[in-house]
Structure formats: C-alpha cells, structure tokens
C-alpha cells in the first residue's frame, strides 16, 4: 500500500557503494564503518557523501537507522519492523523479531494522542558472553 517503488539501478555510484557496504555487512555498522568500507570500493568518496547517502537511503526505505543509548547511530540492512537487545557490558546489539500485540500499540497511541509511524522495543541487559 502506497509504498513507492525504488529503482536501485538509478542510484549514483556513491549511493550504490554505500548500500552495498551495509548489505554486505554481517552486523550493524556506524557511519564511520561505512565510510571506511565504502572507500575500499570508491576511494574518492567523501565523508559527507556517506552521511548524505545514508540519509537518502534511509528516507527511501532501503536501510534503517538504529539509535541506541550512548554510541553512534548504526545502520541496518534489515528494513522490516523489528526490535533490538543491547548488552550493557559489551555493547553487542542483537536483532529481535517480537510480536508486539496490537493492544499495546493501541494503548500507546491512545495514551499519547500520537499517530504511530513506527515503534520498537529495546531490551537492555547482559548477553550470554558477558554473564560468564
């Protein structure tokens, strides 16, 4: 419904490089990580272009920004709705695919008076490694 079609082939080579860096990464990347890796593909790419491209690609729905306490913003190739767990000790971030009941989001809309665009549950705790 209403979701605009994206023509990836029409992206500039810089945007294609940035997108492929995020898509090829096994984990979430910071803007700086993306910059480092994009330079391997396209040595002349600038820092600002990486930021611009990440914003553009996010606005187009081709990738997702994740904002978690403390550190820098991370970029995620997984664009469908999902949640995150963060380890308080080592900072590891894990994707979670939780079913949040409609009753919860309905209550949230109701209580806030907001029109929901997205929602996310964030769990903070200790990962299995950090618990010993």
Partner DNA sequence: TTTGGAATTAGACTTAGTCTAATTATGGTT
Partner DNA sequence: AACCATAATTAGACTAAGTCTAATTCCAAA
Does residue 27 belong to the site contacting its own copies (CB under 8 A)?
no
The span of 24-32, 36-44, 56-64, 111-119 binding its own copies (CB under 8 A) equals 111-119
Rounded CA-CA distance 108/36 in Å is 40
**φ, ψ of residue 100 in degrees (nearest 5):** -95, 120
Contact of 60 with 102, CB cutoff 8 Å: no
108 SS3 class: helix
Nearer to its own copies, 36 or 96 (CB): 96
Which of its own copies, DNA, none does residue 32 bind (CB under 5 to 8 Å by kind)?
Answer: DNA
Residues in region 48-107 near DNA by CB under 7 A: 48-49, 51-53, 55-56, 70-73
Nearest Cα neighbor of 12 from 63, 48, 65, 57 is 57
Does residue 70 belong to the site contacting its own copies (CB under 8 A)?
yes
Residues that bind DNA (CB under 7 A): 12-15, 30-32, 42, 44-49, 51-53, 55-56, 70-73
């Amino acid at each position: 419904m209403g979701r605009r079609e994206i023509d990836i082939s029409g992206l500039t080579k810089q945007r294609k490089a940035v997108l492929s860096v995020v898509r090829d990464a096994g984990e979430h990347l910071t803007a700086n990580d993306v910059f480092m890796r994009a330079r391997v593909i396209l040595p002349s790419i600038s820092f600002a272009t990486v930021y611009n491209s990440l914003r553009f690609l996010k606005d187009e729905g081709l990738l997702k920004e994740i904002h978690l306490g403390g550190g820098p913003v991370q970029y995620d190739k997984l664009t469908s709705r999902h949640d995150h767990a963060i380890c308080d000790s080592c900072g590891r971030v894990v994707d979670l695919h939780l079913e949040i009941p409609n009753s919860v989001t309905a209550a949230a809309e109701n209580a806030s008076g907001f029109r929901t665009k997205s929602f996310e549950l964030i769990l903070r705790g200790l990962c299995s490694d950090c618990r010993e």
